Amino acid sequence: MPKRSKRATKFSAIPHASGSTRKAVAPAADAQRDDEPVIELALERGDLSPAMQAYLEKCDEKLGFIPNVLQAYAFDSAKLEAFAAMYNDLMLAPSGLSKLEREMIAVVVSSHNRCYYCLVAHGAAVRQLSGDPILGEQMVMNYRAARLSDRQRAMLDFAAKLTAEPWKVEDADRAALRDADFSDRDIWDISAVAGFFNMSNRIASATDMRPNLEYHTQAR
């Protein structure tokens, strides 16, 4: 298995509002951190807009670190802003889907695509939101092994099919969601979240994006 590059990038350290850097998990003295470099592209951090700089500082203050996906997009302020806006709308805005359900979709899509970054980051989110570490592992490994409600199973079956065989999605698949009490707006939201994470998985895999070390131990 090829070794990861030891080349540093502008995104290797996690900057904090205080001007210091914090490393939550200390590796062995001669070991390379798994989350450095953040991506395997030599992209220098760009000049961020005041709004985007404030957004990163807010993430740092709230989470204790800046998610590496945001660090990766920080080479271009406009791209970072567009990504953050879409993510926040899909995952945090009012919806007929709970935040946990949206995170479950993210993990099921990422499991099919074998996206290391998203499985680690959003697997942690499922554990946190559900309070159930076992559910988080089941979403990562095989959602069909989880003891889900009929509603959740229908939602995840649709997201999995949309990811693996989108050309086979037809009226019967939408009808199954309606039978599980999802509205047409809910079906849009399921599809939008699945579509977003299919895109994000491919960007993460193409760039070898690495999840923050902090995610690995959250809500265990």
Co-location of 186 and 171 in the same domain = yes
Co-location of 130 and 69 in the same domain = no
Q: Kindly tell me if the per-residue pLDDT of 20 is higher than 50.
A: no
- % of the chain with per-residue pLDDT over 70: 86
Q: Kindly tell me if the per-residue pLDDT of 80 is higher than 80.
A: yes
Least confident of 79-83, 94-98, 205-209, 216-220: 216-220
Confidence of residue 70 (pLDDT cuts 50, 70, 90): very high
142 versus 30: the higher-pLDDT residue is 142
Within 8 A by CB and 6+ apart from 72, the residues are: 11, 38, 39, 43, 207, 209
Q: Kindly tell me if the per-residue pLDDT of 7 is higher than 90.
A: no
CATH of the domain at 135: 1.20.1290.10
Co-location of 84 and 119 in the same domain = no
Is 145 inside a domain boundary?
yes
> d(Cα 20, Cα 97) in Å, to the nearest integer?
38
Is 12 inside a domain boundary?
no
Residue at a domain's end among 38, 73, 93: 93
Q: Kindly tell me if the per-residue pLDDT of 65 is higher than 90.
A: yes
Residue at a domain's end among 37, 63, 93: 93
| pLDDT of res. 30 | 58
Within 8 A by CB and 6+ apart from 86, the residues are: 196
Give the domain extent around 129: 99-207
Q: How far apart are the first and last CA of the chain?
A: 29
Is 147 inside a domain boundary?
yes
CA angle 7, 10, 16 (to 5 degrees): 130
172 versus 32: the higher-pLDDT residue is 172
For the chain, the domain total comes to 2
Q: Which of 45, 47, 51, 56 is nearest to 17 (CA)?
A: 56
Is 66 inside a domain boundary?
yes
List 21's β-bridge partners, or say none. Answer: 15
Q: Kindly tell me if the per-residue pLDDT of 14 is higher than 80.
A: no
Q: Kindly tell me if the per-residue pLDDT of 37 is higher than 60.
A: yes
Confidence of residue 130 (pLDDT cuts 50, 70, 90): very high
Is 88 inside a domain boundary?
yes
Co-location of 199 and 103 in the same domain = yes
Q: Kindly tell me if the per-residue pLDDT of 6 is higher than 80.
A: no
pTM of the model: 0.86
Is 111 inside a domain boundary?
yes
Is 213 inside a domain boundary?
no
- Eight-state DSSP code of residue 8: -
Is 217 inside a domain boundary?
no
Core vs surface per residue 146-184: b (16+ CB within 10 A) or e: bebeeebbbbbbbbbbbbeeeeeeeeeebeebeebebee
